[in-house]
Amino acid sequence: MGSITRSFANNIGSSGILLASAVTNATIEDVTSFSSAASPATLVLISTQTASSSATISFTSGLDSTYDEYIFKFINIHPSVDGSNFLFNMSTDSGSNYNVTKTTTAFYAYHFENDSGTSLTYDGGQDLAQSTDFQRLASSLGTDNDQCFGGYLQIFSPSSTTYVKHFISNGEINSHEDLSINFYFAGYGNTTSAVNAIRFQMSSGNIDDGIIKLYGVKKS
């Protein structure tokens, strides 16, 4: 017993914390469970929709008070019309109307494939000022077989009936002009009504292909 105690003591530092060398596969192989501990925020997949020449993709369920924060992820979004824009809008009546008033801001960076030009700029032509129009999340998408858009849209407390509905979006585009564009959009839906549905669509044509996933951010 004394040798076991001495061996254990040799693996404890001066602060009373186990040394890294004390924790090995052998030391934990018989552990069947750990007590619960605080964990970082975790994404919970709520639903997935796959586009196939889709005029619109709407999420009319899953946005409620279960989570304080929701994230849409856009995977390989491919348009049917060259140079079209990817848009979204919010609804407070479960999808009967997508017309929430929004004030937003936009900026982007770009770099041509042939290295002929770069830029980082605010783009006042893509923001909205107290408008019910659909907001852009990506512009100038390309229809080449290898061109697509990927990114996310993060919405905070959509079910709040006290505050406006803030959102942030970032996306990377392989443009129809053969350049990389990194877009940032942010703003708020200026309503204190609960937002319970969201629609995505192109400015012209269809969402030819792509996946949109809706996640809730698990409360701590």
- The pTM for the full model equals 0.81
Number of domains in the chain: 1
Two tokens, residue 141: 């998408």
CATH number at residue 189: 2.60.120
pLDDT at 215: 98
Q: What residues make up the domain containing 76?
A: 43-217
**147 located within any domain:** yes
Does 66 fall in a domain? yes
Q: Helix (H, G, I), strand (E, B), or coil: what is residue 176? A: coil
* Domain contains 180: yes
Specify whether the CB–CB gap between 191 and 165 falls below 8 A.
yes
Q: Is 90 exceeded by the pLDDT of residue 64?
A: yes
Instruction: Show Cβ contacts of residue 130 under 8 Å, excluding neighbours closer than 6 positions.
Output: 101, 102, 103, 190
> How far is C-alpha 123 from the geometric centre of its chain's CA atoms?
21
Q: pLDDT (tens digit, 9 = 90+) per residue, 155-194?
A: 999 999 999 999 999 999 998 989 899 999 999 999 999 9
What's the chain's length in residues? 220
Query: Is the residue at 195 inside a domain?
Result: yes
Q: Is residue 55 a part of any domain in this protein?
A: yes
Distance CA 151, CA 105 (A): 17
